[in-house]
């Protein structure tokens, strides 16, 4: 039945499953019985697992190739990545959405009021956001791209507002929403200009048009400004400078499980969108007529875009690392660390073509595992019902919660890039990609930045393991539900186990990164030699 669908629709089976799941979960959220409401996260996981299983069956290579996608095999790597991380993100949030309401209803202090229950909506929006991220890989034209990006971010605004209680999540939501809307407008205007310059919304057509312009006398101004605006607009999604200002407040304000979601899904979607857009521009570089009339072919992005990305990369890394040094709140520090890691990822963008994209996705795998492990450890602990926020709460965690202390230590060491952990392999693959693009300066900047990051990640390692327990840290107890701890342990071990599979992951990413063969008029950059 599936092959009767047009190839492009056949590829969307996992997304359809998520949609259906979202609807079911939304409805079940309203049921009176507590058991059903408690089962919601596990249903969500079930849906996600189903989509993971369905993917290899439906996303076959021949079908992908004749679906005229810009990066046909990208989905085969990105979609399972998003689904797997989605599962862990859901398990992370078990028991903490609507916790106050559920407890008061359970104790009978409040009658069950379908209006106030938000758990169903939370998981529905979560599934929708994941669906948006998956859809992004199959984008064939600008409209699809714009809708997919919006589908990723709109649900997150609500998740931030709904997830927790008190004024802080709401303040985070309002900031996140307004600044998000502004950045959406920016890259929408960019789309318009790009459409104006290339005359088509089809990504393949845009790529060929831009290549033709490049072959002629260089990409014209309108397209250049359009691409610049798109890149800057998307910087919001990946918390890159100059659009990163929301991140610290939103990560600190939002509940921990939502911050975990924000730190991974929008970042992956953002970088996928950036990869798609920059593939249109192409890393084949552009020809400059040298003074003596010889056409010199330069690898890499056109100079202005490369300059933008270079500036964005250096500023993001530096501001992220420097900002994190002074923080007393763990979640705020994780926000800055997410900014810093985006800075490293932009390095991959500049490298582009074969090495860059693979490095980005390997780094995203590693980054996902590391941050989810950290957030899961934080989510599994609480102090007098409140979330863990300050470093002093974590002091001497080893005494009462040894496993969580070790998970925090392992993930922090992996984030800093300490060798046996996956973080190290991700970082050196990024550096290698940067070398491929002759970016020695950027590598040195990244090296110095990761040395600076040693300062605050070491604090995150040593505080739970070594620091003497303080009065506050004695009150730290574990959350009733066991699932966040399970997530933390699994992701913590993954940081080491995955490093053995670093080679396999890099090869999988490499095959995904290959872009579609262009029409014969322009030469497509060869496979990786």
Partner 1 sequence: MTALATQSHAIPHAVMAPELAWVGMAMLLPLLSSVVCALCGALRVKSKLPAIVTAISLASSFAIILRAYSAYTGPVDVPIFEWMSFEWGRGGSFHSFTANCALYIDALTLYWMLFVTGLGTLITIYASEYMEGDRGAGYCRFFFAISIFLFAMSALVLGDNLAMLYLGWEGVGLASYLLIGYNYDRPSAVAAAKKAFIMNRIGDLGLALGIFMLWANYGTIQYSELFVAMSSGGQTAVDWHVSAIPFLLMLGAFGKSAQIPLFTWLPDAMEGPTPVSALIHAATMVTAGVYLIARLYPFFELHPQALATVAWIGGGTALVAATIGMAQYDIKRVFAYSTISQLGYMFLGLGVGTTFGACYHTLTHAFFKALLFLAAGAIMHGFAGQLDLRKLSGLRHIPGWRIVSWTMFVGCLWLAAFPFTAAFFSKDAILLQALSSDRADFRALGWLGLLTAALTAYYTFRVWFRVCAGPVHFEAGTEAPHDHGAHHDADHARQKGHDRHSAAVHAAFHPHAPRWAINGVLIVLAIGSLVVGVPAYKAVFLHEDNWAQQMIAHSSAVQGAMLSNDHAHSEGHAPTMLGMDVHTGLTVVGSSAAIGGILVAWFFHLHSRRRADQVRGELLRRWWLGWIPTAMEHKWYVDEVYHVTFRSTMWIGAQILNFADRHFLDAFVVDGVAKIPLALGRVFRPLYSGALQGYAVTMAGGVALVLAWASWVWLRGAQ
Partner 2 sequence: MSESLSSALTAIAPAQISIALAISALLFGLGLIGFLCRRNMIIMFLCTELMFQGAALAMIAFARLRMDVSGQVFVIFILTVAAAEAALALGLVVLLYRRKETLNSEVWSELGES
Partner 3 sequence: MALIWISIALPVIAAIAVALGPASRARTTALIGSLLSLAALTLFAWEFPAWTSGAHFPTGEAAQWVKGAGVSASVGFDTVSLLLALLTAFLMPLCVLGSYSAITDRVKEYYGWFLVLGSSILLAFAARDAILFYIGYEFTLVPMTLIVAIYGGPDRRVAAIKMFLYTFLGSMFMLAALLYLGWEHRIASGSWNFDIDALTATAVRLPTSSQYWLFAALMVGFAVKVPLFPLHTWLPLAHDQAPTAGSVILASALLKLGTYGNYRFALPMAPAGGAELMCVVAVLSIIAIIYASLICWVQTDAKKLIAYSSISHLGLCMLGLFALNPMGAEGAVFYMVNHGLSTGALFLCIGMFYERYHTKDTDVLGGLAKRMPVWASFMVFFTLASIGLPGLNGFVGEFLCLGGTFMAEHDAQTGYPGVLGPWYAIVAGLGLIFAAMYLLILLGKIVWGPLREPTAHATHSTHDSSHATPHGIQLAAHSSHEPVLPVDLSVREIAVLTPLAVACLWLGLQPTPMLDAISPCTERLLVHYPAQVERVMAEHAASLTGSDQSPSSQPTSNSLNSQ
Rounded distance between C-alpha atoms, residue 308 and residue 91, angstroms: 38
Part in contact with partner 1 (CB under 8 A); list of ranges 313-321, 427-435, 459-467, 480-488:
313-321
| Residue of 17, 64, 241, 446 that binds partner 1 (CB under 8 A) | 241
Among partner 1, partner 2, partner 3, none, residue 59 binds (CB under 5-8 Å by kind): none
Q: State the nearest-atom distance from the C-beta of 421 to partner 2, in Å.
A: 30
Closer residue to partner 2 in complex, CB, 169/513: 169
Phi, psi of 289 (to 5 degrees): -75, 105
Among partner 3, partner 1, partner 2, none, residue 454 binds (CB under 5-8 Å by kind): partner 3
Rounded distance between C-alpha atoms, residue 411 and residue 432, angstroms: 23
179 sits near partner 1 (criterion: CB under 8 A):
yes
Q: How far is CA 34 from the centre of its chain?
A: 33
250 within 8 A of 321, measured Cβ to Cβ: no
379 within 8 A of 260, measured Cβ to Cβ: yes
Among partner 1, partner 2, partner 3, none, residue 196 binds (CB under 5-8 Å by kind): partner 2
Rounded distance between C-alpha atoms, residue 324 and residue 339, angstroms: 9
155 within 8 A of 131, measured Cβ to Cβ: no
Nearest to 247 by CA among 145, 316, 165: 316
Touching partner 2, residues 322-361 (CB under 8 A)? 326, 332
Touching partner 1, residues 276-305 (CB under 8 A)? 288, 303-305
486 sits near partner 1 (criterion: CB under 8 A):
no
18 within 8 A of 51, measured Cβ to Cβ: yes
440 sits near partner 1 (criterion: CB under 8 A):
no
Give residues in contact with partner 3 (CB under 8 A).
Answer: 355, 358, 413, 416, 418-420, 424-425, 428-429, 431-432, 435-436, 440, 443-444, 447-448, 450-451, 454-455, 458, 462, 465-467, 500, 502-503, 506-507, 510, 529
Q: DSSP labels for 294-340?
A: -EEEE-SS-HHHHHHHHHHHHHHHHHHHHHHHT--BHHHHHHHHHHH
246 sits near partner 1 (criterion: CB under 8 A):
yes
| Residue of 242, 385, 441, 503 that binds partner 1 (CB under 8 A) | 242
Nearest to 230 by CA among 210, 216, 208: 210
38 sits near partner 2 (criterion: CB under 8 A):
no
Among partner 1, partner 2, partner 3, none, residue 78 binds (CB under 5-8 Å by kind): none
Q: Where on the phi/psi map is residue 199: left (φ > 0), alpha (ψ -120 to 50), or beta?
A: left
E strand spans, 277-345? 286-289, 295-298
Number of residues lying near partner 1 (CB under 8 A): 37
Nearest to 450 by CA among 416, 418, 409, 421: 416
Under the rule (CB under 8 A), what is the footprint of partner 2?
A: 141-143, 146-147, 150, 154, 157-158, 161, 167-168, 170-175, 177-178, 181-182, 184-186, 188-189, 191-193, 195-196, 199-201, 248-249, 252-253, 326, 332
């Amino acid at each position: 039945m599936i092959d009767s669908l047009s190839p492009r629709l056949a590829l969307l089976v996992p997304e359809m499953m998520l949609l259906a799941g979202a609807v079911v979960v939304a409805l079940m959220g309203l049921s009176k019985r507590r058991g059903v409401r408690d089962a919601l996260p596990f249903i969500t996981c079930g849906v996600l697992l189903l989509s993971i299983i369905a993917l290899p069956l439906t996303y076959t290579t021949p079908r992908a190739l004749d679906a005229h996608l810009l990066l046909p095999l990208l989905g085969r790597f990105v979609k399972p990545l998003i689904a797997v991380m989605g599962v862990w993100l859901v398990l992370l949030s078990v028991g903490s959405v609507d916790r106050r309401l559920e407890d008061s209803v359970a104790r009978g202090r409040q009658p069950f009021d379908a209006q106030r229950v938000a758990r169903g909506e939370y998981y529905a929006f979560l599934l929708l956001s994941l669906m948006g991220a998956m859809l992004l890989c199959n984008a064939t034209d600008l409209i699809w791209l714009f809708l997919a990006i919006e589908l990723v971010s709109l649900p997150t605004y609500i998740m931030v507002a709904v997830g927790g209680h008190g004024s802080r999540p709401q303040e985070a939501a309002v900031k996140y929403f307004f600044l998000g809307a502004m950045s959406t407008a920016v890259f929408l205007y960019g789309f318009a200009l790009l459409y104006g310059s290339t005359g088509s919304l089809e990504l393949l057509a845009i790529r060929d048009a831009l290549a033709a312009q490049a072959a002629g006398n260089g990409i014209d101004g309108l397209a250049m400004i359009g691409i610049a605006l798109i890149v800057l607009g998307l910087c919001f999604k990946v918390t890159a400078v100059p659009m990163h200002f929301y991140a610290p407040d939103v990560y600190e304000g939002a509940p921990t499980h939502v911050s975990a979601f924000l730190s991974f899904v929008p970042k992956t979607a953002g970088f996928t969108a950036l990869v798609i857009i920059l593939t249109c521009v192409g890393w084949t570089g552009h020809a400059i007529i040298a003074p003596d009339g010889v056409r010199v072919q330069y690898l890499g992005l056109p100079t202005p875009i490369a300059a933008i990305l270079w500036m964005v990369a250096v500023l993001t890394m530096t501001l992220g690392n420097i900002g994190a040094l002074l923080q007393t709140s763990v979640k705020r520090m994780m926000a800055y660390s997410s900014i810093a890691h985006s800075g490293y990822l932009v390095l991959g963008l500049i490298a582009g073509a074969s090495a860059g994209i693979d490095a980005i996705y390997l780094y995203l795998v590693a980054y996902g595992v590391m941050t989810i492990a950290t957030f899961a450890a934080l989510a599994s602990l609480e102090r007098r019902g409140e979330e863990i926020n300050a470093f002093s709460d974590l002091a001497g965690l080893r005494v009462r919660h040894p496993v969580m202390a070790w998970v925090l230590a392992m993930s922090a060491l992996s984030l800093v890039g300490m060798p046996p952990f996956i973080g190290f392999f991700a970082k050196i693959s990024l550096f290698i990609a940067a070398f491929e693009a002759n970016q020695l300066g950027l590598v040195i900047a990244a090296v110095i930045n990761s040395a600076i990051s040693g300062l605050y990640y070491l604090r995150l390692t040593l505080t739970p393991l070594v620091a003497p327990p303080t009065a506050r840290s004695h009150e730290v107890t574990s959350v009733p539900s066991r699932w966040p701890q399970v997530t933390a342990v699994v992701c913590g071990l993954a940081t080491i186990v995955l490093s053995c599979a670093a080679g396999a992951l890099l090869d999988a990413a490499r095959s995904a990164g290959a872009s579609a063969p262009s029409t014969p008029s322009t030469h497509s950059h060869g496979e990786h030699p």
